Amino acid sequence: MKPNATTFNITLASCLLFRTHRKAEQLINMMPRVGVRLDTDLLIVMAHIYERNGRREELRKLQHYINDAHNLSDIQLRQFYNSFLQCHLRLGDLCFASNMVLELLRKAKEARSSFVIASMVVDVVENDGKYSCVLGFRPTSSHEESRCLKYDRPFKIYVMSYEEYLRDWNFVKLDTEAKEC
């Protein structure tokens, strides 16, 4: 019987649990010879093992697989980048760690703004292109006004709170400190 990805997931997770990280890495090196196909859970367990063994280059190689994986959940993505960041911090590479955090923050900001734009487009499409009511334009006649109320929805604009502004300002300070590294 040929072992599959589930068998390796269980075995590698038990190696992590019992702190036999070197043995787990030997099992990872054996996987291509056995012909095991990688799944997302296996990628995350491998990231934890590489992080515990201080294998920065292996984590960078694994990052390409993580970025190409289409069925990766948010939790798994956070687990991978947590392992990646912990490995660099454990090895004392603060410049790379701070650059990685800044890059992740930039990607999150882009994702947030693209989500806001996408939700605005969806609102316009749902209203059959009647965006004038959504933008706050009110018709003058009562007949047009009653027709417009049918499509009237609150316009969703992302407004940054003061706390988020302060948080962004702190990240700008972190960015300048990282560039000085």
- Domain assignment of residue 17, given as a range: 1-92
In a domain, 108, yes or no: no
Predicted pLDDT of residue 151: 45
In a domain, 146, yes or no: no
In a domain, 33, yes or no: yes
Question: pLDDT over 90 for what percent of the chain?
Answer: 2
In a domain, 156, yes or no: no
- Measured from the Cβ of residue 130, the count of other Cβ atoms closer than 10 Å reads 14
Q: Is the pTM of this model over 0.85?
A: no
3: left (phi over 0), alpha (psi -120 to 50) or beta: beta
H-helix or E-strand spanning residue 52: helix 40-53
When divided into structural domains, the chain yields a total of 1
Predicted pLDDT of residue 155: 46
pLDDT in tens, 122-160: 666 666 655 444 444 444 444 444 444 444 445 444 555
In a domain, 27, yes or no: yes
Predicted pLDDT of residue 132: 41
In a domain, 131, yes or no: no
Q: What angle do CA 128, 133, 136 make, to 5 degrees?
A: 145
Predicted pLDDT of residue 8: 84
CA 4/CA 76 separation, integer angstroms: 20
Question: pLDDT over 70 for what percent of the chain?
Answer: 66
In a domain, 180, yes or no: no
SS3 state of residue 72: coil
In a domain, 61, yes or no: yes
pLDDT in tens, 3-50: 788 888 888 888 888 988 899 888 888 888 888 888 888 889 999 999
